Chains A and B, each alone.
Chain A
Amino acid sequence: MPYLAEISRSNPTAILFLVDLSGSMQNLVGGQEISRAQFLADALNRVVANLIARSSKAEGIRDYFDVGVISYSGRGVKNPLEGPFASKVFNPISLFESNPIVVEDRVRKIPDGAGGVIDQKIKFPVWFKPDSYGKTPMRKGIVAAAQEVAQWCDAHPNSYPPTVLHVTDGEASDGDPESLAEQLCQLSTNDGQTLLFNLRISNKSQTSLKFPNDEDKVGDKTGMALYRMSSVLPDCVALAAKEKGYAVEPGARGFFYNVEPIEIVDFFEIGTRAFSPSLMLK
């Protein structure tokens, strides 16, 4: 039975963020003064902080997750993290906890309980800085992801399989990535094949899709290819999506299309919500 392995320190799972940092990511998010790249960086930093919080115990961090980032852009395909993360793509979550570049003090608005809002100071750790430049070598990015995932699966045969969360705002500039994505998804542990979830950002007022289960709903060639590249949600992830309020039909795929950048946050949160009875927040 796939996607049922318990996530533990002995058998951690892996989460790989595959991110498009091409020039178009400089575009500003509709109605706001920050770029798509900045929005992506914030979402990525936030989800890593949440993974740390989920792994933090009073006595320290438990390494339930190996986390990595691969970016592709006009600067090539690389691990964009620096310092102790630079030497390899996948690093244990405890290394992230002990090595943020900076822990910023940010302010968020919360309800004051009387119909208004108040400012609340929060700590916001940063590992990943925004960047954007040049073309969109998506194929090369997927190949690099597959190499890392293959090595990880070999080293963790009994683990819940890796989840690759891919965010892009454009079409591949180096050819059709579909067959390579298929190969990436064939990499597996004893608990199942690698999960690839895709999100395409767009500011255009087109119909957006979240977890569709029908290719015909997508409507255009690029979207259809990304749909086919996306894994069918296993029950555990479908449950997480439903808990977030998404309508998830049988056969739904891990695919967001033409969504607002703000929805990257939900996409990451659900994608990293590998369900395991012993790990989930009951």
Chain B
Amino acid sequence: MINVSFCLTTAKEGKFQSSNEDFFYSSDSGLTCAISDGANESFDSKNWATFVCQEFTNYSQKKTDELKDEDVREMLILSRKKYYEFYSTKELTWSQQMAFDRGSYATIVAVYDKDDFIEILAIGDSIAMWKENENNFMSYKITDHNEFKQSPLLLSTNDDIDDFFFKQKNIKWGIHKLNKKNILNNKLFLLTDAIGFYALQIKPKLFEENIKQLSKFDNHSYRLWVEKMRQNGNLRLDDTTIVELEIK
């Protein structure tokens, strides 16, 4: 069972909170959830991130066996179907059409409860973090903050790079099986890239202190905390989301 302990998010630009393109979704069954970070330079990554989260969680809660490539492909097709249905009735200007044709892009980190273990699907530069022992945090799929400097491979509304995408499994994206016994205190965190970079860069103890502090926050106090961290140069300017899950 996956319970959401907290979900805190704030937009890249404080005065444009509605522009936040990060999205978190938890299924009613409590068996799946996902976070997605829509790329800024996309026509409608906000809706794309939403559809991706919904389809990558709702589809998989019906399945008890391990995730396969064909499941990922199917979930991607379902997400695109929703996206294209959404735009099928809308009239676009020439510039919107150009942007629409360029596509929308998003990351995903989805967590699937499979009884004794969980599966983490990670595509792009959003990450999952947990502790296996008192000393260190583990993370997936990115494990070192320097990896954030590389261009991530994202989920796209266009299917023209699908062949390349699926060949990049275990290189640029992947599925990680994690025994629940190996999750210390049952806590798993989902982070988008700005705060993920920070979390992997600092000492585990400091991140733990941050978590304690954040667990008492609402979105407003979180926003103030993020703004202060940005001013101090600790967080880069981007939509910034962190979710704490309790895995039982």
Contact = CB atoms under 8 A, between A and B. Distances in A.
Interface of A: 6, 8-10, 49, 52-54, 56-58, 61, 97, 103, 123, 125, 277-282
Contact of A125 (B13, B44, B94, B151): B94
Nearest to A5: B237
Given A57-B44, A58-B43, A58-B47, A278 B98 contact: no
Contact of B236 (A6, A61, A281, A282): A6
A70 B3 CA distance: 59
B30 interface: no
B105 A123 contact: no
Interface string B10-21: 001101100000
B164 to A, nearest CB: 15
Interface stretch (B34-42, B73-81, B174-182): B34-42
8 contacts: A6-B238, A57-B43, A58-B96, A103-B94, A278-B40, A280-B151, A282-B105, A282-B125
A53 B102 contact: yes
B42 A281 contact: yes
- Classify the interface of chain B: helix, strand, loop or mixed: loop
B224 to A, nearest CB: 18
Contacts of B236: 6, 277-278
A101 to B, nearest CB: 13
Interface residues on B, range: 20 to 34
A280 B102 CA distance: 13
A193 B154 CA distance: 32
From A6, A8, A52, A58, name the one whose CB has the most chain B CB atoms within 10 angstroms: A58
A56 B94 CA distance: 10
Given A282-B105, A282-B125, A56 B237 contact: no
A125 B96 CA distance: 13
B94 A123 contact: yes
Nearest to B104: A58
B49 to A, nearest CB: 12
B95 A282 contact: no
B168 to A, nearest CB: 14
Contacts of A9: 13, 16
